[in-house]
Structure 1
Amino acid sequence: MRLDIKHWKLLEAVGKYGSLGRAADAIGVTQSALSHRLAEAERRLGSPIFEREGRKLRPTPAGQSLVQAAQLLLPELSRAEKDFEQTAQNASHLVRIGVAAYSAYHWVPGFLASLPVKREKLQVDFVAAATREAENTLLTGATDLLISPVNIDNSAFSSVPLIDDELVLVTHPQHPFADKPWIIAEDLADVDYLTYSLDALPGFEYERFIKPSGIRLRHIQSVEMTDAIVEMIGVDLGISILSKWAITRSLTQKLVAAVPLTENGLPLTWHVLTRKSDAKHPAVQLTLDALCQWFNPR
């Protein structure tokens, strides 16, 4: 190999941040040192890896494959080190699970109790960062399993359908909309609408329900945690459109009400995603199988 591990770390960081300064901060070296390291890597390979595009560094066509390899390989190396340390210490295998878009963990106690192995042999952690940075947490190894309400299109991931769900309007139980058999987008024109993201996320309510109607929501408040949105709706401080499964507990406790979107509803399918490189990782596959069995018992 012509490149050392320090060069691969450089490739991953510059590819992620697009600048030597931010990459140097992330790695913990000076910008000058990282610049010399990049020059050394390019000398060893005999061609430029990055090219300037304004103030940013963009991989050359040849450099792009190196950056992608670094993004896949470094998390695997880090995982191998951690697995070795745990095995050496006779600790359990660690599998990290994240839930994308919604902070929905009402199912966790029952799932953990259902695991077919003893707790000392398999440790399951839950990663809150996946709510906002879902794809990145799986790509970098911060999560090993990602439960997502959209099927993320990434060639590095494998995906299995997990839950049949729907997007619903969530209101206070006494709200005038709570008794409607369904609502249409025009009903939302003058309401106090709560959203966890002002970005038009693909596959969610704005793209599939609000935008096609041509209406403009006049009163929008951004609340970046879905739990907080549900609490605000529970005291009649607004309404929102959320995953019905994600608010199961609040619906069961009748803290909020759910109203279908249109006469036919707005279906949503949750998936569980893993890295293809973990296809033979026993702890990840065992946990994946347990998740599928828990949500879809045969």
Structure 2
Amino acid sequence: MSAPAADDDITLRQLQVLLAFMETGNLARAAERLQTSVVSVHRALHALEEAMRCVLFRQEGRNLVPTPAAQRLAETAREMRRLLGDGVRATREIAGYAADRVRIGSMYSLTSRAVPALVLGMKQRRPTVQTELLLGSNADLLAKLRDGAIDAALMAVPVAATDIEYEPMFEDEAFFAAPAQSAYAAMPEVDLSACVDERFVSLTEGFATYDSFVEAFRIAGFAPQIAMHTGDIFSLMNLVDGSVGCTLLPGRMRTVLPPNVRLVPLLARYRVRQTIALSFLRSRERDPNLLALLAVCRASRGRF
């Protein structure tokens, strides 16, 4: 086995101590900058000299004076500090940590109120940070979070996702959505079990509203007749507006319904609720941009 290289015993900490000593001029001020003791500074400089295997300092009375060799090593240490800082910043930007942009994912159903409020609040708290928006289903957004394609997501709280942290924003529930001219529109509540012969339209798998749809019919004890599936909630509402079929919609869509669509409460036993939250990877919980987003969410809670 070959002998270790001469620089194997040199540490970043030793180089930090060297720079502090060179830039402050004495051991006491270097210790104060580093928030450590004079003894620790002296010990680190001595260890660095031993690792370099050359004289870096000479003693003049009670003063430690750097040699030209120490001056040269300090120049290298400054360059290493700059390169390391650049590398850390670049790495964090690639990972989205404290970058000059924040990528927010959202379900389509949250773009009318929650997303604008979040973007505006973020602009007020961190005006230099640009906000990017990506839309998708709950399943899409969860995958994008884990892949690092987005930094945070406005979505229904994912089930059994131990790697995800979330900040609840509001609770919502599923309503029966029917054309205005249908008999359901005049009902105070809809008994889902009486809708066995009704035609329905539905979102595709992966959407939180689809999960609510499936759960409600599971409780009702039958599989609905699906006339058509679609990939976004606005198209779903338009299908109801065109009398293609009925569906279940979250209450948050009430303000953007087409003119011919009515939302009617379900009987209590069929009501399915969602928790809408800002979700993010647990490993990113100290990211300054995400902390700003969390503050906006907390300030906005209950407004939706």
Is the structural similarity TM-score above 0.5? yes
Structure 1's 194 and 134: CA in aligned 2 closer, same or farther, altered over 3 A?
A: same
SS at match of 1:142: coil
Deviation digits for residues 199-257 of structure 1 (CA, Å, limit 9, x no counterpart): 79799334432123222323431112111011121222221112111x13324x74421
Deviation digits for residues 176-206 of structure 1 (CA, Å, limit 9, x no counterpart): 1111111122233222211112579799334
Q: 2:278 aligns with which of 268, 272, 279?
A: 272
Give the counterpart letter for 1:260 in structure 2. Answer: P
Q: What residue is the counterpart of 1:182 in the other structure?
A: 189
Q: What residue is the counterpart of 1:259 in the other structure?
A: 264
Equivalent runs, 1:79-90 vs 2, <5 Å: 80-82=92-94
Q: What residue is the counterpart of 1:223 in the other structure?
A: 230
Distance 2:157 2:127 in 1: 33
Q: What residue is the counterpart of 2:102 in the other structure?
A: 95
Q: Is 1:98–1:130's contact at 8 Å kept on the other side of the alignment?
A: no
Q: Any stretches of 5+ residues in structure 2 without a counterpart? A: 1-87
SS at match of 2:280: strand
Give the counterpart letter for 1:140 in structure 2. Answer: D
Q: What residue is the counterpart of 2:110 in the other structure?
A: 104
Shifted more, 181-190 versus 211-220: the winner is 211-220
Equivalent runs, 1:1-298 vs 2, <5 Å: 80-82=92-94, 93-100=100-107, 102-107=108-113, 108-115=115-122, 117=124, 120-198=127-205, 204-245=211-252, 247-251=253-257, 254-263=259-268, 265-296=271-302
Deviation, structure 1 residue 121: 0.9
Give the counterpart letter for 2:222 in structure 1. Answer: I
Give the counterpart letter for 2:180 in structure 1. Answer: P
Give the counterpart letter for 1:258 in structure 2. Answer: L
Q: What residue is the counterpart of 2:29 in the other structure?
A: none
Give the counterpart letter for 1:125 in structure 2. Answer: E
Give the counterpart letter for 1:80 in structure 2. Answer: R
Deviation, structure 1 residue 132: 4.8
Structure 1's 156 and 80: CA in aligned 2 closer, same or farther, altered over 3 A?
A: same
SS at match of 2:142: helix
Using structure 1 for the length normalisation, give the TM-score: 0.62
Larger Rg: 2
Aligned length, in residue pairs: 214
- Identity of aligned pairs, percent? 16
Q: Any stretches of 5+ residues in structure 1 without a counterpart? A: 1-75
Give the counterpart letter for 1:210 in structure 2. Answer: F
Using structure 2 for the length normalisation, give the TM-score: 0.61
Distance 1:83 1:241 in 2: 38
4+ residue runs over 4 A deviation: 76-79, 198-203
